Amino acid sequence: MTRFPPFQGPTLYTAVEGDDGDGFSAWLALREAHVDFRECVVDLSPPRRDLTAARLGRLSPAAAPPVLVDGGYVVFDALAIMEYANDVGAVQLLPGEPLRRAEARAMLAWQRKAEPARLLLAWQAALAASDGPYLYGPLSLADLAIAPRLPGLIANHPPLESFGAVRAWAERLSRRAAVREWLARRARGATPMASS
pLDDT of residue 148: 83
Domain-located, residue 132 = yes
User: For 123, which DSSP code?
Assistant: H
How remote is the C-alpha of 76 from its chain's centroid? Answer: 13
49 lies in the same domain as 110 = no
pTM assigned to the model? 0.86
- SS3 for 54? helix
87 lies in the same domain as 149 = no
pLDDT band at 192 (very low <50, low <70, confident <90, very high): very low
CB 31 within 8 A of CB 41: no
Strand segments (E) across 15-138: 38-41, 67-70, 73-75
Total tally of structural domains belonging to the chain: 2
120 lies in the same domain as 162 = yes
Q: State pLDDT tens for residues 55-110.
A: 888 888 888 889 999 988 999 999 999 999 999 999 999 999 999 999 999 999 99
67 lies in the same domain as 111 = no
CB count within 10 Å of CB 97 equals 11
Q: Are strands 11-14 and 38-41 parallel, antiparallel or unpaired?
A: parallel
pLDDT of residue 63: 85
What's the length of the chain? 196
CB 140 within 8 A of CB 93: yes
Q: How open is the CA angle 91-79-176, to the nearest 5 degrees?
A: 45
Q: State pLDDT tens for residues 15-65.
A: 865 556 788 899 999 999 999 999 988 877 777 777 778 888 888 888 888
Lowest mean pLDDT segment, chosen from 101-110, 133-142, 180-189: 180-189
83 lies in the same domain as 146 = no
Domain containing 116: what range?
98-176
Domain-located, residue 37 = yes
The proportion of the chain whose per-residue pLDDT surpasses 90, expressed as a percent, equals: 46
